[in-house]
Structure 1
Amino acid sequence: MLPHLAPTEDDAPAPPLLIFTVTGMGGIGKTALAVEAAHRARARGWFPGGFLFVDLRGYDDAPMTADQAVLALLDAMGVRGPDLPPTARRQYDAYHALLTERRNRTLLILDNASDPSQYLPLLPGTDHHRVIITSRDRSDALPARLIDLETLTPGDSESLLTRAVLDTDERDDRPAREADALHELTELCGHLPLALQIAAGMLRRRRHRDIASLVTEIRGAADPTAVLDKGSPGKDVYGRSLVLGPVLETSYRRLPPAQARLLRLLALAPGADTSTEAICALADLEEPVALGLLEDLAAAHLVLPVRCVDGRDSAVRWGLHDLVRAFGVGVVSGDAGLREEGEAARERVLGWYLRWADAADDRLRWLPGMPVPERFGEWGEALAWFDGERAGLVAAVGWGREERFAQEAVRLALCLGEYLYWRRYFDDWIAVAEARREAAGRTGDRLNEAGAWNNLGVALREAGRVEEAVQAHTRARDLHQAAGNRPREASAWNGLGNALGEAGRVEEAVQALTRARDLHQAAGDRPGEAMAWNNLGLALREAGRVEEAVQAHTRARDLYQAAGDRTREASVWNNLGVAQEEAGRVGEAVEAYGTSLEIARECEDWYGVGLALYNLALLHQTAGRPAQARPAYLEAADAFTRANAPDKAALARTQATALPE
């Protein structure tokens, strides 16, 4: 903003009146920026007439009117007492005349405006002066240069707190000694300057307590603003009250009922940001109505539009600042009627998630001959929908810890396993499986509880927590055995065999996977049998029984081909190639890897692409062909990166770098 306040050259034509509107949520630092810019500009001699400042108190219970503000401005220019015109019209005339006659360039700051009627009558009638308006609301009432303030970056937030503490006592080593706690404190403050300023004051007064104690206190509170307001030092350097709660309360109270309702409900939405479609379900609104309300809330800086990476208009999502979300949750929890309104909204959005997650999951599991699921005609459409809604879906499953939402949350969790496995979001999968297990246990649903243990075991194994995976699969197996559910027991044996193999207990793995195969065969479950054969092949190879491994993978391949399951067929081809290579059948291995690579690319299975390329590179390297191995390793690294497997991408790049020139 500061460069635009600079005067023009003497011989340059006068520019049009330049008005700056500094907007942002309450506590973002609008006044501080305007006043700091004014002081710096005056120090450079740009405003020899100084600056006139009036606080319009736009968000107080009794905002200042333009008629009241003009009196304050006239007083600042020396017009008072008997010199003051008796009527408002003549006061405005006097005010504008003084500004027109005032040859010394002046900066007018109209602070904290909530409505254009407060400032429009106060604008100078000359282009000689400059105006800065600060407001929580973005207005279209006049042409102005808009300066939208956002929260501080994490680094700037930490620097602010560190500087505030050291300015008081340069020997205070808490920021350096408690870097992690300092970082978490800035996160809890939402990087909002007002919250950070309050936290800094609390740290100064709590000189003999560590930063972690304040972090613990704020984290343990239902509403962080309550802790911060309790510890507020009172006033800032401008004489304003340093309290967060009233700042948010005044913004909320000024909203029309429909906007206030949507803000409350959005505070209850799962995930950090939410799609327009999910918000429509949450609030039971048609999309044009919801979009209009969201845009109004965004103009008031209470809702944050979040543009997705692909930049599509339809990819705009909507979020809340953490402190606004906490405030909204507090408003709902304090009123029985609003609580029921909120619970009904959560039921609606959970039902919406369940409907489309079920359809998207069906599409990911689709095989030839099955009906095409509603909405998702293409596999990529289902995957893209899951990608966009992932955070909300995972958070919504967590609602299953509440009895009202337990059954639907369990059903939703069932729809996420294939996607989370495909995208390798194992931490999310663990969280989903844990929530499903708890919810199923709470409702006495032993079948789903056992299934959750089995899924948890798979996720734990993929995350490298092998011993925990063995325990989870064992628990699943025992529950299914007790219930006499042989098909589900077979799946548990399958998972247990894989976990035992990862744990180095190869013979036990072979036994478990043989049991899984036999149970799947007895039940006529061909997909399950194919999976068991494939996993058995891996265990047999580890046991040194290579020819048996080749036969097992071949059987799995044939079953998947018969089912038309191309993705899993690609995986089996890769495993078959490894077994054939170990059996000395290198030519067949190369063909197997090539087939796996072709199918994986066709299915956009980037992890499978990476595995096939890595194995081909390793084969070339073993054969002394570094010129062929290097590009294959690098392509594998790119594929692993796309598949969210950074450890394997790093390994592939390391292998490529280590090859001789």
Structure 2
Amino acid sequence: MGFTGRSTELDRLLPHLDPDKADRDALPLLIFAVTGMGGIGKTALAVETAHRARAKGWFPGGTLFVDLRGYDDAPVTADQAILALLDALGVRGTELPPTTERQYDAYRALLAEQQDRILLILDNASDPSQYLPLLPGTDHHRVLVTSRDRPDALPVRLIDLETLAPDDSVALVSRALHDTDERDDRPTREPDALRELTDLCGHLPLALQIAAAMLRRRRHRSIASLVAEIKETGDPTTVLDNGSRGTDQYGRSLVLRPVLEASYRRLPPDQARLLRLLALAPGADSGTEAVAALADLDEETALSLLEDLAATHLVTPVRDGEGSASVVRWRLHDLVRAYGVGVVAGDVELREEGEAARERVLKFYYRWADAADDRLRWLPGMAEPERFGDRGAALAWFDGERAGLVAAVGWAREERYADAAVSLAVCLSEYLGWRRYFDDWITVAGAAREAACRAGDRLGEADASDHLGNALGEAGRAEEAIEAHTHARDLFRAAGDRHREAIASNGLGIALREVGRVEDAIKVHTHARDLHRAADERHREAIAWNNLGNDLGEAGRAEEAIEALIRARDLYRAADDRHREAIAWNGLGIALGDAGRMEESVKAYAEALSIHEEFEDWYGAGQALQNMAAAHETAQRPADARACWLQAADAYTRGNAPAKATQARAWAAELD
């Protein structure tokens, strides 16, 4: 199979092997190490580098290659390797020195006398003791080591390999099929299936080679059939190894699990335990604090173990920002994760250990999600939430942990974790709505509702159904939102919970208005207002007034809408809820415009815009600017309108609303 990808790594490595450059360097680097997880393509890169360097005439003395088999049950020792190297240099039979010490002396003497440069490749080393005695005693030659472990204690130039880029993965499989049979057009006919296959292989070269070999053997079957087989099994390593036969171009068996097994078995017990637990963690990656909770360790101990696992390339540090100090999260390769899950599943004690770990991380997530949610909902006069001093800190924590939080809520489908996961789902609604992650919001609320329903928790089911309605409504699925909110309202009403009946009614009314049932929306929001007023819930009453004002405006009752929205604004102001005050200002601007009071309308939008910018609510800012642009157009001020449209586009872009941003730019273009 031909060499594919790795152009960046070759560009880093090759110049250092250039003898002209080396002669100019005051301190030439003699040793280079290509490191990465098993199956990542270290040997392929080393050999390709050697071919290209030889083609340039840099190593006229040739290349010496030794496979140290460092991760086999019986690794090659340096004393064994020296015999192979001497043989390659022509020293054999009666010329071979009788003792190991003299063999090393003869080896170094030969290299010192050799005028033609030699490139020495010491492949698949697991420990420096395998290759340190083999280094030339001269700076004339160069050494290239490959290993799954970073030799951090040695002065070497490191080239850490990561998985292939998606396009390179596709090219690798396509080339493998074409090289066998140029008529094999499956990659062209099934591009989507091929990309999905490379994703399932985790873009790991060894897994891709195995998949390509299976496709070559199954030449009359589609790529999609292999994809379906892997997805049905749920473990790519099992399918690929069961279908694997033959060897690669280096004579090694095309098998995946033994490679992962060898790396795992070499780990000390504490590292092996952490790797197993990381395989069970929710989300694609985890922060150090979450890993510490998962493993029941203090954060410093967890960090040290993670760094050790990263040195073996079984865990990858994920950087957020520039510089070495920006590592904040840790990721397992998908196939390492699948292997770790399999290890746990096959042992009763490890399963119990894993279940306890999942309970710990759920408890950790709920504690801090609850505190972060309290901060997002905080108003003056409320108790200060734990840990998060401002909205920015709460949002940053949510942003970092979002994938894990959403995945953890998915555990609600298992009875053991249902209660904690449902509670966690409620804590995510405000954040997911704020960031406009509607798909995640629907997933989270749906999982919570299913879990509560299975458990017979009618109030929990109602709560989750109401959140689901909000998510569906924001995603533009108003009819489904009506169904979810109605279900929630009816459950709350049956339970005699008037407070939450009113909350569900507010969401229901919004969805009704979205489908054009304005009179029904007015009735529902009026009922919600009355329930909140009777309970002396002034802040909630403001929400109902705001919704009612929007309904009245939609019904063409502009003056009544203005009155309702002023009531909402004033109640929000009394509660010091600045963000919802901005929402009321925006609605008031629309109602004032409908009443022909355009200058007042523009001023209302400006008030809304100022507050939305204060909160960095860029979607809300985009709405205010969009409405302001329309008001300027009505007032025959096209230049002002165009400027507002362009500002709205920028705000929508920052607010994760690309479709809105595109539309705003189109409207601005119409005013050129």
Q: Does 1:559 align with 2:559?
A: no
Measure, in 2, the Cα distance between the counterparts of 1:222 and 1:333.
13
Q: How do 1:455-470 residues align onto structure 2 when only pairs under 5 Å count?
A: 455-470=467-482
TM-fit CA distance, 1:625:
1.5
Q: Does 1:622 align with 2:634?
A: yes
- Would the aligned equivalents of 1:15 and 1:127 in 2 still touch at CA under 8 Å? no
Q: Does 1:386 align with 2:404?
A: no
Measure, in 1, the Cα distance between the counterparts of 2:505 and 2:473.
14
Deviates more, 1:291-300 or 1:645-654: 645-654
1:63 to 45, 50, 75: 75
Correspondence for 2:521: 509
TM-fit CA distance, 1:330:
0.8
Deviates more, 1:575-584 or 1:215-224: 215-224
Measure, in 1, the Cα distance between the counterparts of 2:331 and 2:90.
47
2:597 to 556, 579, 585: 585
Measure, in 2, the Cα distance between the counterparts of 1:550 and 1:311.
53
Correspondence for 1:338: 350
TM-fit CA distance, 1:222:
3.1
SS in structure 2 of the partner of residue 110 of structure 1: strand
Correspondence for 1:176: 188
Q: How do 1:475-554 residues align onto structure 2 when only pairs under 5 Å count?
A: 475-554=487-566
TM-fit CA distance, 1:474:
1.6
TM-fit CA distance, 1:269:
1.0
Q: Does 1:256 align with 2:287?
A: no
AA partner of residue 337 (structure 1): E
Q: How do 1:409-428 residues align onto structure 2 when only pairs under 5 Å count?
A: 409-428=421-440
Q: Does 1:317 align with 2:352?
A: no
CA displacement, residues 184-231 of structure 1 (integer Å, 9 cap, x when unaligned): 101000001111111111111111111111101111123210101111
Correspondence for 1:405: 417
AA partner of residue 290 (structure 1): A
TM-fit CA distance, 1:10:
11
1:610 to 622, 632, 636: 622
TM-fit CA distance, 1:142:
2.3
Correspondence for 2:3: none
Q: 1:629 to 1:312 in 2, by over 3 A?
A: farther
Measure, in 2, the Cα distance between the counterparts of 1:552 and 1:306.
50
CA displacement, residues 425-468 of structure 1 (integer Å, 9 cap, x when unaligned): 11111011011101111222110101111111110111111111
Measure, in 2, the Cα distance between the counterparts of 1:10 and 1:337.
56
Q: Does 1:195 align with 2:225?
A: no
TM-fit CA distance, 1:233:
2.8
- Would the aligned equivalents of 1:573 and 1:596 in 2 still touch at CA under 8 Å? yes
**TM-score normalised by length of structure 1:** 0.97
- Would the aligned equivalents of 2:170 and 2:195 in 1 still touch at CA under 8 Å? yes
AA partner of residue 52 (structure 1): L
Deviates more, 1:171-180 or 1:145-154: 171-180
- Would the aligned equivalents of 2:372 and 2:388 in 1 still touch at CA under 8 Å? yes
Correspondence for 1:99: 111
Measure, in 2, the Cα distance between the counterparts of 1:497 and 1:315.
46
Q: 1:315 to 1:567 in 2, by over 3 A?
A: farther
Correspondence for 1:19: 31
CA displacement, residues 137-183 of structure 1 (integer Å, 9 cap, x when unaligned): 11124212111111111111111111222222222222122111111
- Would the aligned equivalents of 1:513 and 1:535 in 2 still touch at CA under 8 Å? yes
AA partner of residue 374 (structure 2): D
Measure, in 2, the Cα distance between the counterparts of 1:13 and 1:579.
74
Q: 1:312 to 1:580 in 2, by over 3 A?
A: farther
TM-fit CA distance, 1:614:
1.4
- Would the aligned equivalents of 2:29 and 2:156 in 1 still touch at CA under 8 Å? no
2:291 to 258, 279, 300: 279
Q: 1:238 to 1:587 in 2, by over 3 A?
A: same
AA partner of residue 572 (structure 1): A
- Would the aligned equivalents of 1:421 and 1:429 in 2 still touch at CA under 8 Å? yes
AA partner of residue 75 (structure 1): D
TM-fit CA distance, 1:313:
3.0
TM-fit CA distance, 1:557:
1.0
- Would the aligned equivalents of 1:361 and 1:415 in 2 still touch at CA under 8 Å? yes
1:29 to 34, 41, 52: 41
Q: Does 1:126 align with 2:138?
A: yes
TM-fit CA distance, 1:568:
0.6
Measure, in 2, the Cα distance between the counterparts of 1:416 and 1:96.
65
- Would the aligned equivalents of 1:17 and 1:129 in 2 still touch at CA under 8 Å? no
Correspondence for 1:358: 370
AA partner of residue 432 (structure 1): V
TM-fit CA distance, 1:654:
1.3
TM-fit CA distance, 1:12:
5.9
Q: Does 1:652 align with 2:652?
A: no
**What is the number of residues matched between the two proteins?**
660
For structure 1, which runs of at least 5 residues remain unmatched after alignment? none
TM-fit CA distance, 1:29:
0.5
SS in structure 2 of the partner of residue 436 of structure 1: helix
SS in structure 1 of the partner of residue 144 of structure 2: strand
Measure, in 2, the Cα distance between the counterparts of 1:352 and 1:60.
40
- Would the aligned equivalents of 2:598 and 2:635 in 1 still touch at CA under 8 Å? no
SS in structure 1 of the partner of residue 532 of structure 2: helix
Q: 1:127 to 1:616 in 2, by over 3 A?
A: same
Measure, in 1, the Cα distance between the counterparts of 2:548 and 2:653.
29
Correspondence for 1:46: 58
SS in structure 2 of the partner of residue 501 of structure 1: helix
AA partner of residue 116 (structure 2): N
Correspondence for 1:153: 165
TM-fit CA distance, 1:325:
0.7
- Would the aligned equivalents of 1:17 and 1:126 in 2 still touch at CA under 8 Å? no
- Would the aligned equivalents of 1:116 and 1:141 in 2 still touch at CA under 8 Å? no
Measure, in 2, the Cα distance between the counterparts of 1:69 and 1:310.
42
Correspondence for 1:186: 198
Q: Does 1:136 align with 2:154?
A: no
SS in structure 1 of the partner of residue 131 of structure 2: helix
**TM-score normalised by length of structure 2:** 0.96
AA partner of residue 485 (structure 2): H
- Would the aligned equivalents of 2:506 and 2:524 in 1 still touch at CA under 8 Å? yes
For structure 2, which runs of at least 5 residues remain unmatched after alignment? 1-12
- Would the aligned equivalents of 1:14 and 1:127 in 2 still touch at CA under 8 Å? no
- Would the aligned equivalents of 2:319 and 2:326 in 1 still touch at CA under 8 Å? no
CA displacement, residues 35-89 of structure 1 (integer Å, 9 cap, x when unaligned): 1221222233222211111110000111111111111111111222222111111
AA partner of residue 349 (structure 1): V
